[in-house]
């Protein structure tokens, strides 16, 4: 069964990966601000910062790689992992 989003003419165009990665340093502050109230999943972070989830994934993984964020070991009910800033204590 297909949906409207399966139609390429309806989906928003993806930006080049190089462009998304180049923005990572600029996105640290908004992502850390979104995480100030506690751990969030990628879709929740994306919603709070007003960015697409696929781009937010790149930025969060970059921040995780360089030790700015940590992943909470257990996934939520939908299978998403939560991330938190390294200066926050684990809440789960």
Q: What is the pTM of this model?
A: 0.77
Q: Other CB atoms closer than 10 Å to residue 88's CB: what's the count?
A: 15
Domains (range + CATH), the chain: 15-85 (1.10.10.10)
Alpha helices in 35-68 (DSSP H): 42-49, 53-65
Q: List the structure tokens of 45.
A: 């972070």
Residue 66, φ and ψ in degrees, nearest 5: -95, 15
Q: Assign 84 a pLDDT band (cuts: 50, 70, 90).
A: very high
**pLDDT tens profile 10-55:** 556 678 888 887 888 889 999 999 999 999 999 999 999 999 999 9
Segment (H or E) for 69: strand 69-71
């Amino acid at each position: 069964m297909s949906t409207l989003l399966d139609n390429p003419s309806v989906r928003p165009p993806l930006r080049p990966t190089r462009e998304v990665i180049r923005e990572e340093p600029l996105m640290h502050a908004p992502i850390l601000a979104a995480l100030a109230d506690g751990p969030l999943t990628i879709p929740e972070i994306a919603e709070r910062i007003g960015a697409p989830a696929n781009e937010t994934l790149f930025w969060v993984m970059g921040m995780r790689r360089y030790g700015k964020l940590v992943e909470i070991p257990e996934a939520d009910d939908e299978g998403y992992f939560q991330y938190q800033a390294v200066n926050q204590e684990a809440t789960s």
